[in-house]
Structure 1
Amino acid sequence: MTALLSPARRRWIAHCSGLALAAWGGAALPARAARPATVLVVGDSLSAEYGLPRGRGWVALLEQRLAREKIAARVVNASISGDTTSGGRSRLPALLAEHRPTHVVIELGGNDALRGLPLAMTRDNLVAMVRAARAAGARVLLVGMQVPPNYGRRYADEFAALFGEVAKAEGAALVPFLLAGVADGPDPTALFQPDRIHPNADAQPIMLDNVWPALRALLRG
């Protein structure tokens, strides 16, 4: 059939074909907009403002810090008092689908230890959460916790170490201990509520300062 076409007709077909290929190749399409930064915090009572006036927890203070630093990011606090790593693992897929976060902060594990749950289970749950978040395209920050030595020195040491082990193995950023400067200060009770478990309002800026350097690096990286 091509041989029966005139030279002018063949040139016109070639011209139109070239335009079509350029368009389908994406040369004429607008660039896809970048996903807006959304920080999803999945934690327990330490992040859920337990016993605090609304807006005084470290996650609420994070929103204020982002505004001061002129970092455009939305914060979604999906923390639930009493939550464990098993609970967080079961909740995470729906949270990822709903909020499409660019960054996920995982602050869970303390309630696992308080209940004496097996460390292997806590580790497996954290690994699954990190992998799910990364598979959804988010950068992950794992927030570590410690327990008092009365739980047994071996258990306490292995529990504290597992956060770093998971972060290293899975390529996540790490905050070694959320309550650094709070639970290990000169007066261990000064920065806690009367239950001596939950930090008070004065402790929240310290907790944010523990999280902020690692999170800022992820947001600006």
Structure 2
Amino acid sequence: MKGKILCTLSIIGWLMSGCDSQNKPATNEGASAVENQSADTKVDQKEVPVILFFGNSITAGYQLDVEDAFPALIQDRLDSLGYQFKVINAGLSGETTSGGLNRIDWVLQTIPDVFVLELGANDGLRGLDLEETKKNLLLIIDKVKQANPEIKILLAGMRVPPNLGKDYTTRFNGIFPAVASETGASLLPFILDGVAGNPELNLPDGIHPTVEGHKILAENVWRVLRPILEEFQTL
């Protein structure tokens, strides 16, 4: 159930530099159960496989209660189906792939069995160097594989608006299939499919999903995640 979410590393930021600094703070700000875990708690975590969601404000559930963000909804789905997995939400609002690369070693204090990587949107919206974006994603995945060579990885793809230029947009959209192909990760082509561009499913900023939007994100993720989980003998 929702109470089984082990931790949320969600700090209010902006998905893009133009976001309104007057928006109310998210109710999941500053939660960080991992910092205070005892050795016994860390042992308990590994009694069941761990699914680690590592991303930006989309994963963190910007301006929502953590229970309404899609990782929590995935935990609810797992529990309802009797799947023995523990979800960790390591989303951080405003995170870029460079920030994620700097943060991944700390997050890997808990070694996951399944790693869901949702980063890159902020790189695109800020017009960052796409070669660096791809390199950072590859390095993050490499670090995760070093921590657990048997890990299963799901890469959540993102798209950027066409106002950044056709060449940049095309190159950005091609990063995620390329990274998935090079690393063997399972690919969710576009995590915001069915949500992006729909004002009824996004907050007033037009970027971050509402509670209803996160329900669709959870369905998008589940379609790709479920076959991965079924590979585990615990199911």
> Normalised by the size of structure 1, how large is the TM-score?
0.80
Shift, 1:36, TM fit = 2.8
Q: Secondary structure at the match of 2:76?
A: helix
Shift, 1:123, TM fit = 0.1
How many Å separate the matches in 2 of 1:112 and 1:195? 18
From 175, 182, 185, the counterpart of 2:195: 182
How many Å separate the matches in 2 of 1:66 and 1:86? 31
Q: Secondary structure at the match of 1:46?
A: helix
Identity %: 40
Q: Please state if 1:157 is matched with 2:167.
A: no
Letter in 2 for 1:133: V
Which residue number corresponds to residue 8 of structure 1?
Answer: none
CA contact (8 A) 1:133 1:139 kept: no
Q: Please state if 1:70 is matched with 2:86.
A: no
How many Å separate the matches in 2 of 1:69 and 1:155? 42
Structure 1 unaligned segments of length 5 or more: list them. 1-33
Structure 2 unaligned segments of length 5 or more: list them. 1-45
Shift, 1:215, TM fit = 1.2
How many Å separate the matches in 1 of 2:147 and 2:77? 26
CA contact (8 A) 1:52 1:200 kept: yes
Which residue number corresponds to residue 116 of structure 1?
Answer: 127
CA contact (8 A) 1:82 1:111 kept: yes
Deviations 1:2-33 (A, max 9, x none): xxxxxxxxxxxxxxxxxxxxxxxxxxxxxxxx
Shift, 1:135, TM fit = 2.0
Which residue number corresponds to residue 218 of structure 2?
Answer: 208
Which residue number corresponds to residue 132 of structure 1?
Answer: 143
Letter in 2 for 1:217: P
From 107, 127, 133, the counterpart of 2:118: 107
Shift, 1:35, TM fit = 6.4
Q: Secondary structure at the match of 1:141?
A: strand
Q: Please state if 1:47 is matched with 2:90.
A: no
Letter in 2 for 1:103: V
Deviations 1:191-216 (A, max 9, x none): 11001111111111110111112211
CA contact (8 A) 2:158 2:189 kept: yes
Cα-Cα RMSD:
1.3
Q: Secondary structure at the match of 1:55?
A: helix
> Normalised by the size of structure 2, how large is the TM-score?
0.75
Q: Secondary structure at the match of 1:204?
A: helix
Distance 1:126 1:35, change over 3 A: farther
Runs of 4 or more, structure 1, over 2 Å off, are: none
